[in-house]
Structure 1
Amino acid sequence: MAYSFYDILQLVGALGLFLFGMKVMSDALLKLAGNKLRSFLATMTSNRVFGVITGFFITSVIQSSSATTLMVVSFSNAGLLTLTESISVIMGANIGTTITAWLITILGFKVSMSTIALPLVGFGFLFTFSKRKNLDNWGNFIIGFALLFIGLQFLKDAMPDIKNNPEILAFLSQYTDLGFLSVLLFLLIGTVLTVVIQSSSATMALTLIMTAEGWIPFELAAAMVLGENIGTTITANLAALVASYKAKRTARAHLAFNIIGVIWVLVLFYPFLRFVSWLAELLGSQSPYITAAAIPVAISLFHTVFNISNTILLIWFINPIAKIVEKLVPEQIEPDIKVDEPKFLNKEVLKYPETAISVLLKESKYLFKTTVFEIVSHALHIHRSDIKSDLKLKKVIKKSNILFELDVREQYVTRVKYIYGQIINYATKAQTDLDLNEQQNQQISEIKIANRNMVEIIKDVNELSRNITIYLNSENKYIQKEYDKLRKRVVKVLRVIHLFRTEKDNEAYHNTLKRLKDRARDNKNMSNANLDKLIREDLITVDMASSLVNDTDNVNDIIKNLIITAELLYGKKDTLLDNGNNT
């Protein structure tokens, strides 16, 4: 056989050029439409039909089902998508990936792109000189598009010429005449090729070329396409290996969906192929059983009909599929993480703006509602359960006569400082490394401000706590009463914030917080008048008065920072961020 090692290298090189073109084109499209597409993904999955449409639309635009699936896995990992939402998007992505097959079939086989591909590279290269980011990305898209078809032409040229090498057919005939066993064998070949190449589009291109060159008949090419649908799930499953159980479930759901589809098509394999052949002839093509040149069109049609049929059939079984996957990948009960370590932050979240914002927000909310809430409560010598209860505030203050042994400074160093540093670190990296729009940049800035406010709250409560400890059981009932007033003011704010973040209808609590914030601003003059009376009537000592002045200012600052932080973290009902994790 006149097919040397050099020819094999030519074939591998042509495949590499095709893949490179696909990557350049897909990356450019992601940069052009990435933010909008991810926002679309986060907002358009409210029901299964919208999820399918979203998956189809995104994959059609970026020309990569793997990129869409990886995006879905990342979103699941960050808690932006539920398992059922993820499954519906993946169903749509499977349909969207058929666009690539049609692109190759029509432009690669029906139209000769090789004559205009090189001029397109030159045209696209001119755009890359532009200082405008969008024009540069359009240039890369045009170059990638042209390289894809140059690679496809090289692939066709690098394929062995069967007319001059008839022994190749003799080699293949050993495996093409085994009946249904041949179908299973070529299904496995399609799966393995896709796993190795890591691109179902490239395997599809190889399959289409093999059919056009007469290497394999229609039914074996269809079997390879079924294998490609299984092989393409490997990318997502590999990405999910180091992710959370939610991401693993999403990846397994993709695999389960495609395997179920392949099984039922294999059961109806030959009738299904005859239906596709009839449909191809109905649309004006020739029968793939008679003419080899008609096979690429029939294969693209088979790919499309298979994915649409599979989605229409299984869209009604999303919940059962989700339950099966949940049993295969049980929920991982996370070990008790020390509070001084981040609970949600990991490097994976910095892939996309949406996942970074979602996880930064979750980490900040967790720090605020657990650690900061506890430190402030205990610094006031109040039980958190009393603050969350329906007990009247007067009774809460009266009840809390037991002093907590609390070192606020130590609590900050061991429980807050490292987490705060990590949140600021991740937020800064997101603003530096990710392509954020103005709104996303503003959201991250607000998260950073909220965390700085938390640190200020702990700093102010540290000053307050020392004097509360001294004066809570003082024999001077007047200073004790004044400090109880201060405690009551902070406890009231903590209670309203708790209700604001846990109640669905929270507008009334938000209005209450705004009034309390305004009152904290205006409280200085009122406090001074009351203080003057206490000093004038010798009801408290000068030292007590000095402490009371400082602590009144501290309480006003604590209240303002608590409310501002709550507003920043919980006040804006943005669908991109509010995914059921507000409590």
Structure 2
Amino acid sequence: MTGFYGNGALCAQGQPQAWLLRGKNGAMRKYYLPVAIGTLLFAFWFSPDVQEIAAGVAIFLFGMLMLEDGFKLFGGGRLERLLTAATRSTGRALSFGIVSTTLLQSSSLVSVITISFLSAGLISLVGGVGIIFGANIGTTTGAWLVAGLGLKVDIASYAMPMIAVGIVMVFQKQKLWRGAGYALGGLGFLFLGIHHMKEGFEAFRDQIDLTRFALPGLVGLLVYSAFGMVATVIMQSSHATMVLVITALAAGQLTYDNALALAIGANIGTTVTAIIGSLGANFQGKRLALAHLIFNLTTAAVALALIVPLREAVDWISALVGIAASDYALKLAVFHTIFNVLGVLLMLPVLGRLVVFLERRIGEPVPDVSQPRYLNEAIDQFPETLESALRKEVLHLYDNATELIFHGLNLHRSEVFEADNIAQAVRQSRAIIELDIDERYERKIKTLHAAIVDFTTRVGGKRLAPEIADRIYALRDVATGIVTAVKSVKHLRKNVLRYTTHPQGKVTDLYDGLRTEIARVIVEIRKFDLATEEERSVLWLDQERAQLEDDSRSSARRVEDLIRKGHISPAAATSFLNDSGYAYGAMRGLVAAARAYYVERDRAVAEVEQLIGFDEEDLQDAARDSAAGQHAGGTPDRNRTVM
């Protein structure tokens, strides 16, 4: 678990890729719809039979959307958690890409998930590239499904009951049943779409023979590869393109050679989804999109260059496994698998060099601490990335906040963290740190806090699981507590400069005590963060709360004693008491933020807290016990450790 000092995404149902047409690619959305509708209307006018083919494609794509949504509901975030675990080695990442794409029947969705996790810093670039390689192999299973089953069995007879049962399940309240219903209904619509495409091409053959437009040789390879790429870009699915190609090939509306070229083009076109998805991602997401493009272009170039030996290999393998020489649909599936596996075999040995190239080509930008680092569009789709990215952004805010708090107190964070004696380090810090605290607050704190609030408000409208939504709102409250602590220190700044830049007797000691206490709390939170989850104890947080309350009362009594002895003036005492309120308010806020950030997330600690957590009476007892450990004069022990 990363924390305050550690190393440092659900879509609307039915619209899993709607975000791809937002933001920077708004121009695409502007022209995409009228062009698509105009093309369809012209095709319908040209031939009524095209309607059934178009309807089959539409039904197929709708089935993919339902299938994707079903796995998101059915999985309940398991897919995302598996992805995080599956990238610990290249082999596991490759296997995950194959299996997940086979189940989801969408390499585009797997690519989007991978970009999301990579942008949120949950997986490595090497792991992400491995998943993309595997997804390209996994997408070949769709061609086998269609060519081996869809064209040889009356799948429409299976589709109808699947859709009927699936829709009944969709209206159930339980997420498990709804997810299974979406998946079953989606699979039914996939089958139904394949059926209508097959029937449409059969009817279309009686009117027009598309093989008249066949192009042989190199020209045919290049032209039809371009057609396959464009079709995939339009439908945002290479799987849909392959189904269309296989059904047209089976109906005799395509030549085998041109179908091979279309399959190659479809592989190139599928990279567009990843490229569009990377527009809202950070530099890591853009690196992965470039890796996807390089891999598919390399694979396509090799397939085009070796088209003759690859055809011979397909014929040999087909004869070996019993595929008829005239069964071009299954032979296309064999070809699709061969050239994708060949691409992976060619790229795996140079994976390390590819990653180095990506890192050099798309360098990590110099971080702007005033801007959000993790809250980008690429993480919006999946609950695990939403929460993880927000946690990292809260960490970013805390890092900015502690730096400003230390500077506001006329302290250097690095010096305090390295000090063996915090109180002594504070007493030695008299030089003024030039700082426009209001400007720094607006730029480094308020901007990030506004982005966090906007993000939590926006994702609150998504259909998140209640427990995830609760944790997201809890993180927003953590951010608010951090900002409140900074505001409190802003109030302290004036008198800190007035009384601590040069010694003025007891009043300087009082303000040094406040500075020491705030610094000590931040140091202890840092120690808490650096400890393992097993070593962290809720007891420390409760003891710290108790200690702060006792310190606050002791500070007030000490001021009263100093006034009676004439060591400080009433005016200075009044200023200090007001500032003491701000200081202890800041410390309470930081401790509460640490509690919410660490303890509430850690289930094991939460169970311990349930057994040994303090109630208010316990807090008072702990406060009285801790008073015995204070230094003479009412000043608390400022060098105690976490445990």
Instruction: Bin the TM-score by the shorter chain.
Output: 0.7 to 0.9
- Match in the other structure for 2:383: 353
- Match in the other structure for 1:578: none
- Match in the other structure for 1:577: none
Q: How much has 1:345 moved relative to structure 2? A: 3.2
**CA distance 1:132–1:490, change in 2 (3 Å):** closer
- Match in the other structure for 2:105: 63
- Match in the other structure for 1:416: 445
Partners in 1 of 2:448 and 2:281 — Cα distance? Answer: 21
Partners in 2 of 1:61 and 1:25 — Cα distance? Answer: 9
Query: Does residue 111 in structure 1 map to residue 153 in structure 2?
Result: yes
- Equivalent position to 1:159, from 170, 189, 201: 201
Aligned partner of 2:499: which letter?
Y
Preserved contact between residue 186 and residue 223 of structure 1 (Cα < 8 Å): yes
Partners in 2 of 1:164 and 1:255 — Cα distance? Answer: 39
Q: How much has 1:250 moved relative to structure 2? A: 0.8
1:502-522 alpha-carbon deviations (Å, 9 max, x no partner)? x68798898997565553244
Q: Which moved more, 1:259-268 or 1:192-201?
A: 259-268
Q: How much has 1:64 moved relative to structure 2? A: 1.0
Q: How much has 1:208 moved relative to structure 2? A: 1.1
1:182-221 matched pairs, under 5 angstroms: 182-221=220-259
- Match in the other structure for 1:402: 431
Preserved contact between residue 119 and residue 374 of structure 2 (Cα < 8 Å): no
1:413-451 alpha-carbon deviations (Å, 9 max, x no partner)? 56533432331231233233142362x334323322321
Preserved contact between residue 408 and residue 458 of structure 1 (Cα < 8 Å): no
- Equivalent position to 1:480, from 472, 494, 508: 508
Aligned partner of 2:150: which letter?
G
1:358-401 alpha-carbon deviations (Å, 9 max, x no partner)? 3322322222112x223322332223343244474344223322
- Equivalent position to 2:165, from 106, 113, 123: 123
Q: How much has 1:528 moved relative to structure 2? A: 5.4
Partners in 2 of 1:470 and 1:246 — Cα distance? Answer: 47
Aligned partner of 1:109: which letter?
L
Partners in 2 of 1:410 and 1:268 — Cα distance? Answer: 63
Q: How much has 1:204 moved relative to structure 2? A: 0.7
- Match in the other structure for 1:301: 334
Aligned partner of 1:381: which letter?
N
- Match in the other structure for 2:320: 282
Aligned partner of 1:227: which letter?
G
Q: How much has 1:79 moved relative to structure 2? A: 2.8
- Match in the other structure for 1:458: 486
- Match in the other structure for 2:90: 48
Q: How much has 1:317 moved relative to structure 2? A: 2.1
- Equivalent position to 2:277, from 239, 246, 270: 239
Query: Does residue 273 in structure 1 map to residue 311 in structure 2?
Result: yes
- Equivalent position to 2:409, from 380, 394, 398: 380
**CA distance 1:186–1:472, change in 2 (3 Å):** closer
Partners in 2 of 1:525 and 1:164 — Cα distance? Answer: 94
- Match in the other structure for 1:261: 299
1:183-237 alpha-carbon deviations (Å, 9 max, x no partner)? 3443333223222332211211122123212344444433322221111111111
Aligned partner of 1:443: which letter?
R
1:532-562 alpha-carbon deviations (Å, 9 max, x no partner)? 6435544334444455455445444433432
Q: How much has 1:65 moved relative to structure 2? A: 0.8
Preserved contact between residue 500 and residue 506 of structure 1 (Cα < 8 Å): no
Partners in 2 of 1:377 and 1:130 — Cα distance? Answer: 54
Preserved contact between residue 14 and residue 155 of structure 1 (Cα < 8 Å): yes
- Equivalent position to 1:227, from 253, 258, 265: 265
1:93-132 alpha-carbon deviations (Å, 9 max, x no partner)? 1122122222222331121112232333333333333333
- Equivalent position to 2:130, from 76, 79, 88: 88
- Match in the other structure for 1:77: 119
Aligned partner of 1:324: which letter?
F
Preserved contact between residue 350 and residue 430 of structure 1 (Cα < 8 Å): yes
**CA distance 1:320–1:418, change in 2 (3 Å):** closer
Preserved contact between residue 68 and residue 93 of structure 1 (Cα < 8 Å): yes
**Could you say what the CA RMSD is over the residues aligned between the two structures, in angstroms?**
3.4
**CA distance 1:86–1:414, change in 2 (3 Å):** closer
SS in 1 for 2:88: coil
Partners in 2 of 1:306 and 1:572 — Cα distance? Answer: 50
SS in 2 for 1:6: coil
Q: Which moved more, 1:535-544 or 1:448-457?
A: 535-544
Partners in 1 of 2:442 and 2:256 — Cα distance? Answer: 68
- Match in the other structure for 1:449: 477
**CA distance 1:483–1:513, change in 2 (3 Å):** farther
**CA distance 1:122–1:326, change in 2 (3 Å):** same
Q: Which moved more, 1:153-162 or 1:562-571?
A: 562-571
1:317-376 alpha-carbon deviations (Å, 9 max, x no partner)? 222122233344344446x57x3x545434443332233223322322222112x22332
- Equivalent position to 1:140, from 182, 193, 196: 182
SS in 2 for 1:401: coil
1:313-324 matched pairs, under 5 angstroms: 313-324=346-357
Partners in 2 of 1:167 and 1:460 — Cα distance? Answer: 78
Aligned partner of 1:365: which letter?
L
**CA distance 1:153–1:414, change in 2 (3 Å):** closer
Partners in 2 of 1:442 and 1:262 — Cα distance? Answer: 47
SS in 1 for 2:380: helix
Query: Does residue 432 in structure 1 map to residue 461 in structure 2?
Result: yes
SS in 1 for 2:461: helix
Q: Normalising by structure 1, report the TM-score.
A: 0.84
Partners in 2 of 1:67 and 1:346 — Cα distance? Answer: 18
1:534-549 matched pairs, under 5 angstroms: 534-549=562-577
Structure 2: tracts of 5 or more residues without a match: 1-44, 603-643
1:225-275 alpha-carbon deviations (Å, 9 max, x no partner)? 222111111111122234333222111111111222233334443333333
**CA distance 1:167–1:204, change in 2 (3 Å):** closer
Partners in 1 of 2:453 and 2:210 — Cα distance? Answer: 62
Q: Normalising by structure 2, report the TM-score.
A: 0.77
Partners in 1 of 2:545 and 2:349 — Cα distance? Answer: 50
- Match in the other structure for 2:548: 520
Partners in 1 of 2:114 and 2:95 — Cα distance? Answer: 14
**CA distance 1:456–1:165, change in 2 (3 Å):** closer
1:485-511 alpha-carbon deviations (Å, 9 max, x no partner)? 22222223334445665x687988989
Partners in 2 of 1:504 and 1:273 — Cα distance? Answer: 60
Partners in 2 of 1:408 and 1:166 — Cα distance? Answer: 76
Preserved contact between residue 280 and residue 378 of structure 2 (Cα < 8 Å): no
Partners in 1 of 2:342 and 2:235 — Cα distance? Answer: 27
Aligned partner of 1:461: which letter?
V
Preserved contact between residue 87 and residue 124 of structure 2 (Cα < 8 Å): no
Partners in 1 of 2:205 and 2:319 — Cα distance? Answer: 28
1:437-470 alpha-carbon deviations (Å, 9 max, x no partner)? 62x3343233223212213312432444444344
SS in 2 for 1:433: coil
SS in 2 for 1:159: helix
**CA distance 1:348–1:275, change in 2 (3 Å):** closer
